[in-house]
Amino acid sequence: MVVRGVILAGGTGSRFAPATQVMNKHLLPVYRTPMIYYPINTLVAMGCTDVLIVTGGEHIGAFSELLGRGVACDITYRVQTHAGGIAQALGCARGYVTDPVFPVILGDNYFQLRPVMGSRPTLYTHYRDNVSEFGVLYDRQIIEKPATDQPGNIVTGLYVYDQRVFDVIRTLKPSDRNELEITDVNNWYLRNDMDVAVINGHWADMGTPESLLDLVLWMRNRGAL
C-alpha cells in the first residue's frame, strides 16, 4: 500500500549564511549525515512509502544527486517557485497526496522516537521549560514566541492534515513577513477539527547554527552519531 508524506525543505536559509549561499540548508551536515535524512527517516518510520520534497528550483539538482529516487522510500520533487512561507510550500503538494490524511514535516526537524500517525488531523507538540522562542499551544490556539519564560507545549514541525488543508491555504492572507503562515493553517484546524499529540524523547529544530550544534553535541554524548 502506498502511503505518501511531504517534506518542506524550501526557504533561503539566511541564518546559516554564507554556507547557504551555495547549499540548501537541509543539505547541511549534522555531523556527517545530511540534515534531510532525518525527516525522511521520520516519515518512513511513520509508515510512508513515498515522500515528496518541496524545495527551491535551484536546489532540486543537489537533492536529486544526493537522494536520487530514494532508497528507503520513493522520492519525488516539486519546486517552490518563491519563498512565500511554509503554508505556500505545502500548497505545492496538492495533487500529490491523495490519502484521506497525510503527514507533513519540516526539513529541519529531528525526532528521537517514532511519532505515531493516526487517522485524524494531528498537531505534534513537545514540552519545553522555556517556550519564548517557539510557537506555543495555549487553549487550542498557537501563540508565536510569547513574552514568557514559562514551560509549556511548543509546536514542532510535524503535522498530519486531511485534504481540506489545500482549501484552507487558498483562504490565507500574507502575514507581515509577506508569507503564508503554517500557524494560521494550524489555528484553523484547532478551531475546527484537530487532535493534539505530545512527542516523547528528544526533539530538535535544526533551523539555526546554535540549535544544530546543540543537537550534534546531544547526539555525541549519547553515542547516536
Q: ∠ CA(178), CA(183), CA(189), 5° rounding? A: 130
H helix or E strand, kind and range, residue 86: helix 86-91
pLDDT digits (tens, 9 = 90+) for 94-104: 999 999 999 99
Count of domains for the chain? 1
Task: Examine the pLDDT at 224 and tell me if it is beyond 90.
Answer: no
Query: pTM here?
Result: 0.96
Cα distances (Å, whole numbers) of residue 169 to 21, 62, 69, 124:
29, 28, 28, 19
| 3 state SS of 40 | helix
pLDDT digits (tens, 9 = 90+) for 118-165: 999 999 999 999 899 999 999 999 999 998 778 999 999 999 999 999
Longest Cα pair distance anywhere in the chain, in angstroms? 46
pLDDT digits (tens, 9 = 90+) for 154-197: 999 999 999 999 999 999 999 999 999 999 999 999 999 999 99
Position 149 scores a pLDDT of 77
Other residues' Cβ atoms within 10 Å of the Cβ of residue 58: 9
* Set of cell numbers at residue 88: 505556500
The residue segments making up the domain with residue 207 are 4-221
Mean pLDDT of all residues belonging to the chain: 95
Task: Examine the pLDDT at 206 and tell me if it is beyond 90.
Answer: yes
Q: 216 near 204, Cβ under 8 Å?
A: no
What CATH number is given to the structural domain containing 158?
3.90.550.10
Q: Which amino acid is at 192?
A: N
